[in-house]
Structure 1
Amino acid sequence: MRKPLLVIAAVVLATSLSAHAQNTGNIRYKWYDAQGLMHFSDSLTAEAMKYGYDLVNDRGLVVQRVPRQLNAAERAAANKLAAEQAAQQRAAQERANADSQMLAAYPDEESYQISLHQALDMIDQQIHTSQINLRSQEKALTDLLGRAADLENAKSPVPKPLADSLTQQRNVVAGLRDTLRHQQALRAETVQQQAGQLAHYREVRAAQERAAK
Structure 2
Amino acid sequence: MMQSVVRSTLIALALLSGVASAAGDRLRYKWRDEGGNLHYSDSVPPQATRLGYEVVNEHGVVVRRVERAKTEEELAAAKAAADKIAAEKRRADEAARNDAQMLAAYPTEDDLRKSLQGQIDLITQNIQATEVGIASQEKSLAERLVHAAEQERNGKPVPAAVQKQINTLRSGLAEQKAFLERRTADRAAMEKQLVSDIEHYRQIKKSNDEQRGAKR
TM-score bin (small chain) = 0.7 to 0.9
Separation (CA, whole Å) in 2 of partners of 1:61 and 1:148: 104
SS at match of 2:36: coil
Larger Rg: 2
Q: Tell me how far 1:39 sits from its aligned partner.
A: 2.5
Write the deviation string for residues 78-107 of structure 1: whole angstroms up to 9, x where unpaired: 222222221221121111111111111112
Separation (CA, whole Å) in 1 of partners of 2:206 and 2:65: 45
Unaligned runs of 5+ in 2: 1-18
Q: Tell me how far 1:172 sits from its aligned partner.
A: 0.7
* TM-score, normalised by the number of residues in structure 1: 0.79
The residue aligned with 1:143 is 143
The residue aligned with 2:134 is 134
Question: Which moved further from structure 2: 168-177 or 121-130?
Answer: 121-130
Task: Answer whether contact 2:117 2:194 (CA < 8 A) is retained.
Answer: no
Separation (CA, whole Å) in 1 of partners of 2:134 and 2:67: 71
Q: 1:151 to 1:112 in 2, by over 3 A?
A: same
Q: Percent identity?
A: 36
Within 5 A, what are the aligned runs for 1:125-204?
A: 125-204=125-204
Question: Which moved further from structure 2: 60-69 or 151-160?
Answer: 60-69
SS at match of 2:101: helix
Q: 1:58 to 1:110 in 2, by over 3 A?
A: farther
Unaligned runs of 5+ in 1: 1-18
Separation (CA, whole Å) in 2 of partners of 1:166 and 1:36: 88
Q: 1:120 to 1:62 in 2, by over 3 A?
A: farther
Q: Tell me how far 1:173 sits from its aligned partner.
A: 0.8
Cα RMSD for the two superposed structures? 2.4
The residue aligned with 2:212 is 212
Within 5 A, what are the aligned runs for 1:30-49?
A: 30-49=30-49
Separation (CA, whole Å) in 2 of partners of 1:58 and 1:119: 78
* TM-score, normalised by the number of residues in structure 2: 0.78
